[in-house]
A and B are shown apart, each in its own frame.
Chain A
Amino acid sequence: MNDEYRSYLIEGERAGMRYALEQPRSVSAATAGLHLGRHAGASLEFRDHRDYQPGDDLRRIDWNAFARSDKLTVKLYREEISPHLDLLLDGSRSMSLESSAKAQAAIGLAAVFAVAAENAGYSHNAWLARDRCAPIANGGNRPSLWQSLGFDFRGNPAEAFTRTPPKFRRQGMRAMVSDLLWMGEPLGVLQHLAQGAASVIVVQLLAEADVNPPERGRVRLVDSETDEQREIFIDDAAIRRYRDALARHQQNWHRACRQAGAVMVNVVAEQIVADWNLEALVKAEVLKV
């Protein structure tokens, strides 16, 4: 890992000192773990009753209630949440888009999340999605100690995520930092990400150049991942179409995140690295100061 990335980690680590990871809402502290989730789960804390539905665990049937009311009901318990953050960093080449602060912001944000998790009493582990999702060396330690970071994957990180699903800690929090710029239905990725997770945070990190397309004129666009080229003429109409496409793409992800129970936050790299003011994440109740 080059020194530049190391400096980004240190920079993010320094920025993350001000933040702590926000706990998932409505989570009780009296659980086997330190935090409880909002969903019904397998913790010992009773939450509610509901009618039995085929497929429910027979062990959860409240036989006393059946005796009293001759009606099958099951007891619901609060879900137990593990105080752990699995941090997934998109390792595709687009995350280090040239002439942008994307790599700096991505590495820095990952460091921020790691430090914020520590500040909240969470353990953490960092993963890097390249051709396969693999843990970052020393990813459980302080970010400045992480090893082998790199953005050189030329493929779709969603496929890697599906092909080699990472072994995230069950009931832990999961955060993914990516530009989400790939083809495919986002819900599939999110369902994999949310499976067994207490909460999921998706941070879409875009460069300023991704938000604001190139200036008008004839431009030969080069895909930073595939090196595919496309020569187009950019005018006001093309810019409008691009922004519309970006908005639709983000709406799809937002919709999928809502369906998967994930929180999605959009940030712009250049704005992040300008002052490391992570107001957007604070507003989304992902981080707290």
Chain B
Amino acid sequence: MPVFTFPLAFIALLAVPALVAIYWLRTRARERHVSSLLLWLDEKQMWEGGRRIHRLQTPLLFFLELLTILLLVMAAAGPMMRAGEGGRPLVVVLDDSFSMLAGNEDSAKNRAMRAIENELRGNRYDPVRFVLAGESPQLLGETTNNTGQAIRLLQNWRCGATRAWLEEAVAFAFELGGSRARVLAVTDHAPVEESNDSRLQWWAFGSSQQNFAFVNAARTQRDDEDRVLLEIANLSSSSGATTLTIESDDPNNPRSAIRDPQSIPLGAGKAKRIALTLKSGAPALRARLGDDALGVDNSVVLLPEANRSVRIDLRVRDAPLRALVEKTAQSSQNASLTADDPELVITDESESNVENAEAWTLRIIAEKDAASFLGPFVVDRAHPMTEGLSLGGVVWGSGKSQQLAGAPVITAGNIPLLADVDRAGRHELRLRLRPDLSTLQESPNWPILIWNLINWRARAMPGLRQANVRLGGDATLTVEPGVEEVRVVDPQRNARQLPVRDKAVMIKADSVGVYEIGANQSKYAFAANALQREESDLAQATSGRWGNWANAAALQWEYRSVAWVLLLLAMIVLAVHAWLVWRRGVK
């Protein structure tokens, strides 16, 4: 079937009744009285006599003119015919966020799958690709030109992401598919603004529903106890209530600090925060809300954060400086001062024997030939030691030599003040400081500097940086030296091996639940929770379709204009018309 790119041209069909009117008026017989019909006997009558009702006389010329009008109107309407039998590339962008699961069996995901299946079966596309729109665009399976295979690929669409960056995914789809490809974005909400790109269609299968969700959940260690914060939101336009159930894995004291299931009434769009206190290191805490439209955000698991205190050996001989460092280190909760198997050595000795091969060193150098520097200070902001530093107005007393081993981290002009030597992951830091010529130790920059050092060292120690991550986030595990591979078991109990690089491995939390990690003899675990208010908010979910592939810009790729054929036919008809008129004139 031809497609018309300019259907407005069919208004010109009004010329048809105009033509009929012209013929009717022209062929309407005028009555003339003549003396006799004797001399008109040679003329053929327009019709045989005897009819009481005369129908419109339609000579051949009329039909030719009518045909010409129809051909010209159709040509003006921009008829396009499909060029060839080959299909057109299709890239389907799938909203991979967990809001697509809302509605259970009648979820946006299920409805979208049925619609995509119908589209694939009803039209010829070659090839078909799927792009998952999550935190970042991701290809789903291989490119296929088989409809059945494409439909089977859809079964791998899981909708586990906390965000769906559809715009990025659509842009990626255009890159992937090329200029001829059609792009179909499937989601549960309307586009922010309708695209002008005629190759894009946007299908939404969502529906606005009431949903209670955990929008925040955290567990922190403080003062020998674990503090738990839960934030529950009613993400709907009407008030309602849900039940909260909190459970603990602590076999010894299952109900310690745990409240009974309770009803949580919440107004429309309101949120409620619940704070709990647990014993330090208490096992996993599980909180669950009552069933509603979206299940994935109705439960959270909070694991205890691992204790990652850094053992610091202070070997500072200068008493004021030692007191300064000691006070600052003790103020950090992640540090313990001990000379036994230290992980960090802070010293002002020029040479210090460090037994632990993994221990880091901060060497404070107080040179005699020193000067006070007011700046300008050049700070390597990418270095972990400089996070949060603000050296404006600080007087830094330091040696004047331009020589200092290691990569400069902070310099006063071309005078290095802090340098870092990386020895295969073991860092040696050199800090040039004359406290008597400085105000650095009297400014907030000093505890920041020491805290940065301790925190940096703590993060480099084996173990998980975070025991609780948000769904879609990354859990980073630092492993013992010599570990080259870790075994990860996801919440669905699927195991996989991940290689270790630079003593660390990053695990993406793409499912809600507890991940277990084995690294040689060490065991670790972290929990992933769906805590994304925007995704849990189903108020803006809607259904609809936007965009039209069958417009002029899109048609030009797979359709070819046949207007020239119609124009050619019109010219032929006009030529026949002219010939008939000429022949009649000759007669």
Contacts and interface: CB of A to CB of B under 8 A. Distances in A.
B31 interface: yes
Given A219-B30, A220-B31, A232 B36 contact: no
B587 A237 contact: yes
Interface stretch (B12-20, B42-50, B142-150, B385-393): B42-50
Contact of A223 (B26, B28, B36, B46): B36
Contacts of A230: 37, 40, 43, 45
Interface stretch (A45-53, A93-101, A108-116): A93-101
B34 A221 contact: yes
B27 interface: yes
A185 interface: no
Contacts of A232: 40, 43-46
Interface residues of A, number: 40
Interface string A232-253: 1111111001100110010000
B26 A181 contact: no
Interface in A197-216: 206-207, 209-210, 214
A224 B34 contact: yes
B32 interface: yes
Contacts of B40: 221, 230, 232, 242, 245
Contacts, number: 104
B46 A207 contact: no
Contacts of B586: 237
Nearest to A214: B32
B33 A224 contact: yes
Given A218-B26, A237-B585, A97 B42 contact: no
A218 B584 CA distance: 15
B39 interface: yes
B37 A219 contact: no
A226 B37 CA distance: 9
Contacts of B253: none
Describe A's contact surface by its main secondary structure: mixed
Given A230-B45, A231-B46, A232-B44, A222 B31 contact: yes
B349 to A, nearest CB: 124
Contacts of B49: 229
A70 interface: no
Interface in B36-72: 36-47, 49, 57
B353 interface: no
B323 to A, nearest CB: 123
Interface string B316-332: 00000000000000000
Max count, chain A CB within 10 A of own CB: residue among B29, B31, B39, B584: B39
B35 A207 contact: yes
A55 interface: no
Nearest to A179: B35
Contact of B26 (A102, A217, A226, A229): A217
B33 A246 contact: no
Contacts of B26: 217-218
Contacts of A237: 584-587
Contacts of A225: 35-36
Interface residues of B, number: 28
A274 interface: no
A234 B27 CA distance: 11
B37 A218 contact: no
Among B32, B42, B49, max chain A CB count under 10 A is at B32
B32 A231 contact: no
Contacts of A223: 33-34, 36-37
A4 interface: no
Contacts of B34: 97, 209-210, 214, 221-224
Nearest to B587: A237
A241 B587 CA distance: 10
A66 interface: no
A285 B37 CA distance: 32
A237 B583 CA distance: 10
Nearest to B41: A245
Contacts of B31: 219-220, 222
A183 interface: yes
B29 A97 contact: no
Contact of B27 (A181, A207, A210, A218): A218
Given A224-B34, A228-B37, A241 B29 contact: no
B42 to A, nearest CB: 5
Interface in B567-587: 584-587
A222 B33 contact: yes
Contact of A241 (B30, B37, B43): B43
A219 B584 contact: no
Q: Considering residues B43, B47, B586, which has the most beta carbons from chain A within 10 angstroms of its beta carbon? A: B43
Interface centre among A214, A217, A226, A231 (most CB of B within 10 A): A231
A238 B34 CA distance: 15
Given A218-B26, A242-B39, A245-B39, A99 B46 contact: no
Contacts of A235: 584-585
A235 B49 CA distance: 21
Interface of A: 94, 97-99, 102, 179, 181-183, 206-207, 209-210, 214, 217-226, 228-238, 241-242, 245-246, 249
Given A97-B33, A232-B43, A249-B39, 14 more contacts: A102-B35, A210-B34, A218-B29, A218-B46, A219-B30, A221-B37, A221-B40, A223-B33, A228-B37, A231-B47, A235-B584, A237-B585, A242-B39, A246-B39
13 contacts: A99-B33, A183-B38, A219-B29, A219-B32, A228-B37, A231-B45, A234-B43, A236-B585, A237-B586, A238-B43, A242-B39, A245-B38, A245-B40
